[in-house]
Chain A
Amino acid sequence: MVIFENVSMTYPGGDVPAIDDMSFAIEDGEFVFLVGPSGSGKTSIIKLITGEVMADSGVLNVNGFDLRHIRRRKLPRMRRTIGVIFQDYRLIDDMTIYDNVAFAMHIVGASNREIRQRVPYVLDLVGLSGRERRYPREVSGGEQQRAAVARAIVNSPQLLIADEPTGNLDPARSLELMLLMDRINDNEIGTTVLVVTHEKELVNSFSKRVIAIEDGQVISDGMDGYYSYEIQ
């Protein structure tokens, strides 16, 4: 669950708030698209949710963690409840696809047995069976993105955040990825999914909640699953 209540945040040295008195809530199990033009504050929202930057005021709660007052040493614990997927995949180049995914399990202290069981299962789920021993540079962009999804979901996070996940993929691969995210949201745990995107067609092809932001403020929040907001 994500709660933003009158949250404001200005970057150090900045004079205009990146997030300006923003309020919205995402319930457990929801699938939400976050849309808005470049510089509207989408990335800042992700940074706030992942604890990369801290809010100046308001209430910010993610998966039960009060991020306005969280201690720095508690951040890793909070981050383990979130899976993040980036446009540029951010896989570790020196690790195989398998190791990139297994690494996330090592962090949470999973046993070697658990890792041996879980990683092949998740790689199969994202369609990467047979690619385990390849390095990121040896597979396609779509496969790298699926590896990033596998890493993000391997610890069964409560919240999955995807930051422009289809930015480097062609339309067919983009649709495949969104269907995969939809499946993850539909699973028995009901993982909450927050997708930041520019792609109007993609958003409109799913009947999901869409939050549109501009200048650090929410300008529309609709359940009609339609990307009604026009990017300027």
Chain B
Amino acid sequence: MRSSKIGYLVKEGFKSILTHGFMSFASVTIVVACLVIMGSFTLIAVNVDSMLDNLESQNEVVAYVEETFTEDQARALQTQIEAIPNIRSCQFVSRVQAVEEFAAQQENQALFQDLPDTVFRDRYIIYLEDISLMGQTEEQLEQIIGVAWVRADLKVAEGFVTVRNVISAVSLILVVVLVIVSVFIMSNTVKLATLSRRDEIAIMKMVGASNWFIRFPFVVEGLVLGLLGGALAFLLEWGIYDVMTTRIMAMLGGLITVIPFASMSLVVMVVFMGVGLVVGVFGSSIAIRNYLQV
């Protein structure tokens, strides 16, 4: 294959974008609209997931040590607790610290200010890797000799797991539906764009052009328009995300935290450009396939 021939076909692809300006504009607009809709929803889902992660990580399990254990014996249990697979971290709190913390929380109650530390037990504040395994971890903790009992809020954990599962399922369904709708709209736009060039393709065939020769400029055109759509959608998504998150944060204050766009920008850009490229190249290839059967 001569490089001059490739150069000619690439040039034809670019020229075609300009000569079919309106259809190029329509194709890019559709790609941008579909990507922004899909992207926005995915980013909302990612943020909700991150918030759940955050909330889950604050859900603690408390393991109380036998009263008969001295502080040194109680501290010695840490190795056994940390050996349980689902434990992310554990922190020892002595009965002295516990009584101080309790008194600090009840500073207006004079009755609780001079409690003896024997009222409290040594304990471990434990954070888990996966709260859906909380029940199993609770049982493992209870089997350690020296652990008197374990306080684990299984209902809260189950609630988090249910919420996460529902959100994951809804997100997945919506993203899949949006992808299908987007691909349908985009392929129809490309079909419409190629329909107006049916005669042109027929003439090319009649003059002896191979399918490859006809398809190549269309593919170049689809690739350029797809990448352009992806890039524009990325910039638009960034702008919308920044504006929306600023407003939401201003309204809700510190109640929620959102992921800064900058930390996801590379992934979003790669995904948008990738989807734009795939839709552009495959959309145009598939759309002209029917006209090549002459």
Contacts and interface: CB of A to CB of B under 8 A. Distances in A.
B55 interface: no
A108 B208 CA distance: 8
A207 B200 CA distance: 36
B2 A111 contact: yes
Interface stretch (A7-15, A72-80, A179-187, A190-198): A72-80
Interface residues of B, number: 21
Given A109-B5, A111-B4, A112-B4, A76 B210 contact: yes
Nearest to A80: B208
Given A92-B200, A106-B5, A112-B4, A77 B19 contact: no
Interface string A105-120: 0111101100000000
A84 B206 contact: yes
B97 to A, nearest CB: 81
Contact of A90 (B20, B203, B210): B203
A76 B5 contact: no
Interface in A93-150: 93-94, 103-104, 106-109, 111-112
A151 interface: yes
A128 B179 CA distance: 52
A106 B8 contact: yes
Contacts of A111: 2, 4
Interface string B1-45: 010110010000000100110000000000000000000000000
A79 B4 contact: no
A79 B204 CA distance: 11
A107 B209 contact: yes
A79 B19 contact: no
B83 to A, nearest CB: 67
Contacts of B202: 90
Contact of A104 (B8, B16, B207, B210): B207
Nearest to A104: B207
Given A52-B294, A111-B4, A103 B207 contact: yes
B184 interface: no
A86 B93 CA distance: 94
Contact of A107 (B19, B20, B213): B213
**Which of A50, A76, A84, A111 lies at the interface centre, i.e. has the most chain B CB atoms within 10 A of its CB?**
A76
Given A94-B19, A106-B8, A107-B213, A50 B2 contact: no
Contacts of A93: 200
B208 A107 contact: yes
Contacts of A91: 203
A103 B11 CA distance: 12
Nearest to B202: A90
A109 B208 contact: no
A107 B2 contact: no
B206 A79 contact: yes
Given A109-B2, A112-B4, A90 B206 contact: yes
Contacts of B206: 50, 52, 79, 84, 90
B78 to A, nearest CB: 74
B4 A107 contact: no
Contacts of A92: 200, 203-204
**Which of B2, B20, B203, B211 lies at the interface centre, i.e. has the most chain A CB atoms within 10 A of its CB?**
B203
A151 B207 contact: yes
B5 to A, nearest CB: 6
Interface string A31-66: 000000000000000000010100000000000000
Contacts of A77: 208
8 contacts: A76-B209, A76-B210, A79-B206, A82-B208, A84-B206, A90-B202, A94-B200, A112-B8
Interface of A: 50, 52, 73, 76-80, 82, 84, 90-94, 103-104, 106-109, 111-112, 151
Interface of B: 2, 4-5, 8, 16, 19-20, 199-200, 202-211, 213, 294
